[in-house]
Amino acid sequence: MEMTAGLKLRTLHWDFVGSLEPPRVVSCRTEEALGKGNVFGQVTIRFHTQQLSTKAVNRLGLFFEQVDSL
């Protein structure tokens, strides 16, 4: 099942519950762009967190769906 299924023109609100482990760097790289002395960097960080989906609203901001708490 796709995470964004049914969310077109809707906004999903969620609450951060907590971190299950500290964030950690997975990948880090740099590259020079077109040889002009511009260096770009990319860092990939893994976050292992717990979230709780709370509600969804439509594009007009009207309440669409309530998600039960755990």
| Residue 1, in any domain of the structure | no
Query: Which residue matches tokens 């969310």?
Result: 7
pTM score: 0.53
| Residue 21, in any domain of the structure | yes
| Residue 42, in any domain of the structure | yes
Query: Which residue matches tokens 């969620």?
Result: 14
**Number of domains, the chain:** 1
| Residue 3, in any domain of the structure | no
| Residue 4, in any domain of the structure | no
| Residue 5, in any domain of the structure | no
| Residue 2, in any domain of the structure | no
Per-residue pLDDT of the chain (70 residues; tens, 9 = 90+): 566 666 677 777 788 999 999 999 999 999 887 777 888 999 999 999 998 877 777 667 666 655 554 4
Lookup: tokens for 60 = 């007009």
| Residue 44, in any domain of the structure | yes
- In the chain the beta strands, taken as DSSP E runs, fall at 10-33, 38-58, 63-66
Q: What is the domain range of residue 35? A: 10-66
